[in-house]
Amino acid sequence: MTQVEDSPTDAEGSPKAERRSYFVDPTWHERNGRRFAAFVESRVCPSCRRKLEEGRETTQGEPTGGSRSKGNRQRPPADPVATIQSCCVTATDFITPRLPVLEAVFRLLLAKGSPMDAEQIRESLSTWPGVEGAYSHLSADMLEHLLESDSYYGFRPYPHEGEGQ
């Protein structure tokens, strides 16, 4: 007797289709005349923003020879995505119910640091601390349509095995 495996289903009980994963493509920003680092930096928490500003103030007055006085100040983080992942994700206002959907998705993908499919995004947003349920009205299909239609955040499909890049 052969055993029939149950196929995975979505929240509505329909069979889950293989969903495409998405990521934020930094090269898309550069190709469209934007500085990705600046775009991401605008999402850092107030604490990290102060550190970035202090770092800029100390480096603006540096002599051209490159010597720095040995003080307590640190240079600003070189990678704003890493800054978000290590610090800003813990801020209560990093993702809030008041954010537009695609802004929340952008911040989520930065925080997670790896491609996610629309169902994973929906589930993560619906369980994000302080946001529980705020985005639950969105279906994975709706999110996928929004991601495919994006021309601002740089969401791009993540190439699966066998797909061209």
Please check the confidence at residue 94 and state whether its pLDDT lies above 70.
yes
Which pLDDT does position 15 carry in this prediction?
A: 55
Q: For residue 53, what pLDDT is reported?
A: 75
Q: How confident is the model at residue 61 (pLDDT cuts 50, 70, 90)?
A: low
Q: CB–CB of 116/96 below 8 Å?
A: no
Domain segments of the chain: what residues?
21-58+74-157
The whole-number pLDDT of residue 12 equals: 56
Nearest CA to 152 among 20, 77, 42? Answer: 42
Banded model confidence at residue 49, pLDDT cuts 50, 70, 90:
confident
Whole-number Å distance between alpha carbons of 143 and 85: 23
pLDDT at 11: 55
